[in-house]
Amino acid sequence: MTRRAGIERALFVYAPLGFALVFLLGPFYWMVITALKPNSELYNAARSPLYVATPTLEHFVFLFTKTSFLEWTKNTMIVATGATAVALLLGVPAGYALARFRFRGAGLVGTGVVVTYLVPTSLLFIPMVQVMSTIGLVDSYWALVVVYPTFLAPFVTWLMAGYFRTIPGELEECARIDGASRLGALWRIAIPLARPGIVSAGIFAFTLSWNEFIYALTLVTASSERTIPVGVLVQLTRADFYFWGPLMAGALAGSIPVALIYSFFVDQYAAGLTAGAVKG
């Protein structure tokens, strides 16, 4: 019986986990070894693509000295931080309103929020270009700070509405009985208790802003204003030729900030997403 249980555990637990691990980490492993391979190995078909014989940092040196990668990193950080802040400023109060207030059409508003988030950016980037051109923000990364909250705020609103529903309303009612206003109860009671949800919403918004490509490609064309996804692709490709080493080095270096954020807040991120998904 013990042996059978061990076999079943290996087949139905460890085997699926191992497959998922290889599937998820395989592209990252390929990116790392490509970034560390010298050109003599990278373009040599006789070499195995699965390991590096003589690791080198020449692609990272090229990335940081021959491209505007540091400038792109600064732009991406400004865009992601600004768009996330705006999305949270709009989405947290909106989520609280949907969770706490009872008004005519509340369900329709909630559905509209989710539908707005689901609209693909490929359908919206043309009118967004026209709007940004009208207000004079085309070819500036500030256009991205304005545009990104249009799809970040709906998700933050949906997630926070679900999270606020997990917080007993009686706590705020007690605060209001003691003399606190509705805004005071939100600031002193609801928001501190909803901190895991706010953190998870902020991480999601930051990650999506960091990796967004379509708006960044269409709204910003100047090299000094580009973000990492667009800058790396545009500057490290020539027609049908790709500089694979620097490209993978840029992808690896560009993923480090997001990975660090996830590693610091992974517990609160998981807790916030779980609560929001269950109650949303």
Per the document, the length of the chain is: 280
**What DSSP line would sit under 101-142, residue for residue?**
---TTHHHHHHHHHHHHHS-GGGTHHHHHHHHHHHT-TTSHH
pLDDT digits (tens, 9 = 90+) for 232-277: 988 888 877 888 899 999 999 998 888 888 777 766 656 555 554 4
β-pair partners for 241: 238
Which of 4-13, 72-81, 237-246, 269-278 is least confident? 269-278
For 58-279, CATH gives: 1.10.3720.10
Taking CA atoms, 102 is separated from 176, 184, 238, in Å, by: 18, 19, 57
Which of 94-108, 153-167, 258-272 is least confident? 258-272
Burial class (CB in 10 A: 0-12, 13-18, 19+), 85: middle
pLDDT digits (tens, 9 = 90+) for 16-60: 888 998 898 888 898 999 999 988 888 887 777 788 888 899 999
User: For the chain, what is the radius of gyration of the CA atoms?
Assistant: 23
β-pair partners for 237: 242
Position 66, amino acid? K
pLDDT digits (tens, 9 = 90+) for 163-202: 888 888 888 888 888 787 888 888 888 888 888 889 888 9
Which of 111-115, 142-146, 168-172, 203-207 is least confident? 111-115
pLDDT at 276: 45
Confidence of residue 152 (pLDDT cuts 50, 70, 90): very high
Does position 280 have pLDDT exceeding 70, yes or no?
A: no
Cβ atoms < 10 Å from Cβ of 170: 8
Sign of the CA dihedral 102, 270, 230, 87? positive
Residues contacting 148, CB < 8 A, separation 6+:
79, 83, 86, 87, 208, 209, 212, 215
Cα angle value 228/124/198 (rounded, 5°): 65
DSSP secondary structure letter of residue 238 = E
In this prediction the pTM is 0.84
Averaged pLDDT score across all residues of the chain: 85
pLDDT at 136: 87
pLDDT at 39: 87
Helix (H) or strand (E) holding 51: none
